Amino acid sequence: MSTTEPRVAIVTGGSRGIGRQVAERLAADGMAVVVNYAGNQAEADAAVAAITERGGRAIAVRADVADLDAVANLFDTAERTFGGVDVVAHLAGVMTAPTPIADTDFEVLDRVHRTNIRGTFAVAQQAAKRVRDGGAVIMTSTSVLGLNLPGYGVYNATKGAVEAITMILARELRGRDITVNTVAPGPTATALFLDGKDQETIDRMAQQPPLERLGQPEDIAEVVAFLAGPARWVNGQVLRANGGIV
């Protein structure tokens, strides 16, 4: 890659929520962006349009992150379109309504496991093979993991796995000058967080951090951009972006 070519970022789950903000922020930082989405093409096209209207370069690519062939094609498309991959921001993930372990439906467990663990492993595997030296891989966990709240057994189990994958991949890429880190957001005002919660619950959670507000997708995008760009001495870490809850 010549010094005049932009860095290239793949953003999984990049069509909405935190993922979209990350895609737009990395594009604003001068990267060409591959916006990955699972099913909502209209949202993905809107994310691409928002980037290109500001003079950036972006394409949308559909891929189920738990499908190994689809993930390989995602990276193939990035390389074919923009010449390579320098940054992988893995924001795709699912969660379920809090449920005690004793009452957990194993079909729900398998669904969340498939996306959050298998999907992360599939993306990590391709990133290990494809990201160019000097690049960055950013995964996504949750600050809820440190709170051990009742009802979050399924979700926390999958995000604990994400953090383990992050730490091991960082060490397996020794000598490549590729950083691997995880961002662990606290309560953030996205559809994923807000859906199914009444206003009283939302207000109570907004008062938890000393900053007394919910995080915004832009807050998390700022951290991802830091790890994707200037943070070359931050490696194998979990950054808990939560306003001071934990």
Per-residue pLDDT tens for 187-202? 887 776 767 677 887 8
Tell me which H or E stretch contains 169.
Answer: helix 153-172
Q: Does 227 map to a domain?
A: yes
Q: Does 34 map to a domain?
A: yes
Query: Among 31, 159, 12, which Cα is nearest to 89's?
Result: 12
DSSP state of 7: P
Which pair of structure tokens corresponds to residue 124? Answer: 């990590």
Chain segment 85-114, per-residue pLDDT in tens: 999 999 999 988 889 999 999 999 999 999
Which pair of structure tokens corresponds to residue 168? Answer: 């091991």
Sorted by sequence, the CB contacts under 8 Å of residue 72 that are 6+ apart come out as 126
Q: Are strands 8-12 and 32-37 parallel, antiparallel or unpaired?
A: parallel
CB 57 within 8 A of CB 27: yes
Within 10 angstroms of residue 200's Cβ, the number of other Cβ atoms is 8
Alpha-carbon gap, residue 210 to 90, rounded angstroms? 28
Alpha-carbon gap, residue 162 to 164, rounded angstroms? 5
Q: Does 201 map to a domain?
A: no
Q: How confident is the model at residue 210 (pLDDT cuts 50, 70, 90)?
A: confident
Q: Does 192 map to a domain?
A: no
The answer to whether residue 37 is catalytic is no
Of 37, 75, 121, 155, which residue is the catalytic one?
Answer: 155
The CATH number assigned to the domain holding 55 equals 3.40.50.720
Q: Count up the domains in the chain and report the number.
A: 1
Question: Domain of 18?
Answer: 8-187+217-240
Q: What is the mean pLDDT of residues 107-123?
A: 97
Q: Does 246 map to a domain?
A: no
- pLDDT of the residue at 26: 98
Chain segment 149-180, per-residue pLDDT in tens: 899 999 999 999 999 999 999 999 999 999 99
Q: Does 149 map to a domain?
A: yes
CB 235 within 8 A of CB 175: no
Q: Does 64 map to a domain?
A: yes
Please tell me the number of Cα atoms within 13 Å of 130 on its side-chain side: 26
Q: Does 205 map to a domain?
A: no
